[in-house]
Amino acid sequence: MAAFTRIRNSFTGIRGDMLLRAGTSATALAICAMPALAAAQEADTPAEATLNEEQAIIVTGIRASLESAIDRKRDAEVVVDSITAQDIGALPDRSVSEALQRIPGVTLQRTSEARDPARLSGEGGGVFIRGLSFVRSELNGRDVFSANSGNSLSFEDISADLMSGVDVYKNPSADMIEGGIGGTIDLRTRKPFDAPGFVAAVSGDVNYADLRSKSFMSGSALVSDRFDTGLGEIGVLVSYSISNIGNRTDSISADRFLQRTMSEDANGYAEGDTVYVPNSVGFRRIDWQQERRAFDASLQWRPSGTLEFTAEALISTAKPRDTEYYIGNSTQMDPTTPGFVYGEQNQLVSGVADNQQPLLDTRAGSQDKKNQDYSFKALWEPDSHWTVTADVQYSKSTASVYSMTAFTGTDVGTTFDFDLDGNTPYMNMRPTDPSQSLAEKSANWWAAAMDHLEDNEADQWAIRGDVEYKFDEGFLKSLKVGGRWSDRTAITRQTTYNWGLLSGQYWLPGNEVRLDETGYPGGPQIADLPNQSTFVDFNNFFRGEASNPTSGLWLPAPSLVNQGTGHAFDYLGATLSNGWGWAPLSDDFSQTTGQGGINNQGQEVLAGYAMARFGMDYSPVGRFDGNVGVRVVHTKLNSLGSAINVGTLSVTCDSATTDCSDYERALAFASGDLGTSITSGSNSYTDVLPSFNLRYFVTDDFQVRFAASKGISRPTFAQLNPYTSLNFSFDNDGNPNGTGVGGATTAFTGTAGNPDLKPTRSNNFDLSFEYYYGRSNSLTLALFYKEISDYIFVGLEQQEYTSGGETIAFDVNRQTNGAKGKIKGFELAYTQFLDFLPGPLSGLGFTGNLTYVDSTGGANSSVNVFDTANGENAGLNLPLEGLSKWSYNVAAIYETPGISARVAYNWRKKYLLTTSAANINYPVWNDDYGQLDASILVNVNEHLKVGVQGTNLLTSRTYLRVGDPSFQPRYSWTETDRRVAMVVRTRF
């Protein structure tokens, strides 16, 4: 009862209007359901029931998938929601991550990297459950991960075609692998014993992206069969998928808004008034595409009725590629410029800025990601009481990242004419002097280059064993015990972002190499260098609704930057003066200085559990069942990282006027050899994780669940990086001027990772009400509450280091545990098919869900503790990243024996995307976003389906805001493709 009281009290904090909205929604849904219930009750005679079974049942398509998902939720022992694909290759969306957003409580981030909001991905990126990013991933109930983080899977890397379904577990049982506070997502592939015999299926589609004006072809094939042999029954399944997708994004954006003081009366403001002016304005176009290939095979052998073996292999690759053209201004705009218009928060929203120095670049980015998973499982059931399983798994993931940018400059003074107000922005770039032309190739020159490389890998061995004994009768249904050992290694190799000059810059004029020239005067000449630029006109920008921002200009050619840094240097090396300037990075990551280099992490986990299943069909309180158990987990970590970096002293100290004692200590410390050492760390901890799941049957159709558990989410390998950077903070006179613990002044500061981090821990409570009626209808309400402790955030700690004969306590910014918070909310879901309607109207159906999430306390973790702005902003009074208070899905469905159609709309409320966006170094918020998708499939015959799928039919725009909670002007507008696919599916 204490747990029930805690949940009840926690929800009293939800605002009355929100409760009213939820209550109104629930009432409306219940009212909508009543006619169907009444009709079903009136028609429930034996003759009519038989008629319904023979004539009205639809067992394929969307309805069959929804029925299967409802059955999994209703019959599960724990709190779970599912999506299933009855048809092969028929998950409702193009990728697993996009399909997941249809599930109550699950939201999708539409950029692959939250810190890089300027580059929205073609498919959904990060997945959040109930507003939390602490999500663990599984493949067929086994732990799976990617090399990017080492702790979870990048769901957008996995082909949806191979999935038979996806389960989202929101409160676990003791026999489930630990690690997900938000929840666990289990990807399920098909097995040969799932089908009664031979199955062959082929599907294909042509996907057209209208803004990109390009088509992409995809296809999948599956063959499965089972055979009776002298060795027993054998099943074989092989499937293969090729998925290609692409898009274009057009964006107009500002930058961080800087506080400026008016130097004179202008534009409706008086001298001394405060206004906010963006650091820059600009526009970009990104052409993105991705090829995804996946191979899945499984072999099952049942030598007897009591023994079964399953071997599986899944190999999945993803190769996203993008090319970006960007134009922006680099001259700080004068707030008193005549005609500048300011908004309600005194932020600049429109104007004409003359004589601007533009920033021009072309960037190529690519990733090559591969996930491999091999497993073997043995199942032995010697009699009706005993079940014994043994499982061995090996997983390997690799990810390489390439980024190459070439920058150009121009002699032409440029005017930026812009309007950043409303939903449709405007931007135009033109020469300030009409007699000049940006299209004149000789007016443009090679300015700079920047590259970045990563090469990451991770692998894991896991061994698991489980034994269960079932009782014939009584309150206790079964006892189950088991253990699991896993050993994971992750190696991250990365460089810094290597920016370097080419022939000249605005602040360093010289003999710039023009785009039509072959090299620097007196240096090597390359005849083909003039062909390494291309003319870009940004045609059909924002589908013409925002006007074309330029009549055209010369930018570096994609072929220059997308073929490797060596290829780029073969040309750009000819633009350097005496060979001085940008040089490409080496792929020898051990030579990388700063925060890059090699980070080698190891994680060994030993877990054991005991769980009891219980239940009674008849008792004084009625029918109920459930499970109770405890999981004990010991985690051992070790890490090996790059050398400690010790800063240099760039000032002097005069002992006649200044106390130089700290300065002298710093000199001695810097002269030591600490910077040559390799850093390492180790850590271990043990967690006891009890869990309890109870299901009570009010009636056969109406059940109530209560679940309680403890959970953990381990820190990422990036957070455990032992790398340390130590700095000396003195003013020009040699006085200490750094900020230390408690705000004290210190000369000794630093930043560091933390191999001693503990996991974030939680107490989880769920209470749900589930009403299932008819063949495929349901109305459910789930309340949830989480108490979370040991959030990881950036804090100042004193750490002692010895070098050059000096032992000094540095005040170090490092990841640390400590913050606490609470998450609470509800999920309301409703599915209804209108079988009671006459004729073709009986095929109509509806499904929808609404989620509310509220958080108090907690802390955002710094993605990169070595980025000062990232660490500082993570400490601001901000909500949790990725948490939308409200989100919903609605879908209208039409299903008959010949047609399967769906129109679906997904929406989520504004949320904090990142505490510190790259380059902007300030929080960025994603405005409300909704997207409409649809599909229709026609059954040509029992073996063939054809249809059309549409994504982003309303061409929804993404709007971003920048700033702290009290000041968040909109700064970015992004338009992307409407995609339409022609689909063919066959099955035999």
Residue 675: its pLDDT value, please?
60
**Phi, psi (rounded to 5 degrees) for 426:** -140, 140
Residue in the structure block whose two tokens are 């309303």: 954
Q: Is 203 left (phi over 0), alpha (psi -120 to 50) or beta?
A: beta
Task: Flag whether pLDDT at 60 surpasses 90.
Answer: no
Instruction: For residue 441, give the 3-state DSSP assignment.
Output: helix
- Residue 576: closest CA among 668, 445, 459: 445
Instruction: Examine the pLDDT at 444 and tell me if it is beyond 50.
Output: yes
176, 178, 181, 183 alpha-carbon torsion, rounded to 10°: -40
User: What's the pLDDT tens digit per position in 145-186?
Assistant: 887 655 677 777 777 778 888 999 999 999 999 998 999 999
Beta pairing partners, 235: 226, 300
Fold exhibited by the domain 2-284+305-443+454-498+585-987: Maltoporin; Chain A (2.40.170)
Q: What is the band of 52 on the pLDDT scale with cuts at 50, 70, 90?
A: very low
Confidence of residue 466 (pLDDT cuts 50, 70, 90): very high
pLDDT at res. 309: 98
**In sequence order, what are the residues at sequence separation of 6 or more whose Cβ sits closer than 8 angstroms to the Cβ of residue 850?**
22, 25, 104, 827, 828, 829, 886, 887, 888
Which pLDDT score, from 0 to 100, does residue 88 have? 66
Rounded Cα gap, residues 219 and 211, in angstroms: 23
- Is the pLDDT assigned to residue 123 strictly greater than 90? no
User: With contact defined as beta carbons under 8 Å apart, do 496 and 454 qualify?
Assistant: no
The DSSP H or E segment spanning 4 is helix 2-11
Would you give the DSSP letter of residue 55?
H
User: Residue for token digits 């949806």?
Assistant: 160
Stretch 877-904: mean pLDDT: 92
Residue range 343-394, pLDDT digits in tens? 999 999 999 999 999 999 999 999 999 999 999 999 999 999 999 999 999 9
Looking at per-residue pLDDT, the higher value among 578 and 891 belongs to 891
The mean pLDDT of the chain is 87
Q: What is the pLDDT of residue 506?
A: 80
Exposure of 618 by Cβ count < 10 A (0-12 exposed, 13-18 middle, 19+ buried)? Answer: exposed
Q: Is the dihedral of CA 648, 650, 655, 661 positive or negative?
A: negative
**In the prediction, which pLDDT does 49 show?**
31
Phi and psi at 294, nearest 5°, equal -145, 140
pLDDT-based confidence at residue 639 (cuts at 50, 70, 90):
confident
- Work out the average pLDDT over 453-471: 95
Confidence (pLDDT) at 45: 32
Per-residue pLDDT tens over the stretch 644-677: 777 778 888 888 888 999 999 999 998 887 765 5
Query: Mapping DSSP to helix (H, G, I), strand (E, B) and coil, where does residue 78 land?
Result: coil
In this prediction, residue 594 has a pLDDT band, given cuts at 50, 70 and 90, of low
Backbone angles phi, psi at 636, to 5 degrees: -125, 130
Placement of tokens 């209804």 in the chain:
832
CA pair distance 289, 121, nearest whole angstrom: 9
Answer whether residue 37 shows pLDDT above 70: no
Other C-beta atoms closer than 10 Å to the C-beta of 839 total: 7
**For tokens 């014993």, what's the residue?**
193
Written as six digits, the tokens of 71 are 């059955």
Distance (Å, rounded) from C-alpha 212 to C-alpha 875? 40
Q: Which of 460-474, 518-532, 863-877, 969-983 shows the lowest per-residue confidence on average (mean pLDDT)? A: 863-877
**92, 83 in Cβ contact below 8 A?**
yes
Q: What is the mean pLDDT of residues 863-877?
A: 56
State the amino acid at position 478 in one-letter form: S
Q: Residue 46 — pLDDT band, cuts 50, 70, 90? A: very low
d(CA 308, CA 310): 7
pLDDT digits (tens, 9 = 90+) for 780-833: 999 999 999 999 888 888 888 888 888 999 998 888 888 899 999 999 999 999
User: Helix, strand, coil proportions of the chain in percent (round to 5)?
Assistant: 15, 55, 35
pLDDT at residue 54 is higher than 50: no
* Torsion angle defined by CA atoms of residues 383, 385, 387 and 388, in that order, rounded to the nearest 10 degrees: -80
- Measured CA to CA, the distance from residue 786 to residue 825 in angstroms comes to 9
3-state secondary structure of 75: helix
Q: What six digits make up the tokens of 20?
A: 């009213």
Tokens coding 727: 């700095």
Residue 230's pLDDT is: 93
Model pLDDT, residue 117: 72
- Of the two residues 879 and 704, the one the predictor is more confident about is 704
Q: What is the pTM of this model?
A: 0.88
State how far the Cα of 460 lies from the Cα of 396, in Å rounded to an integer. Answer: 7
Q: Are 515 and 444 in contact (CB under 8 A)?
A: yes
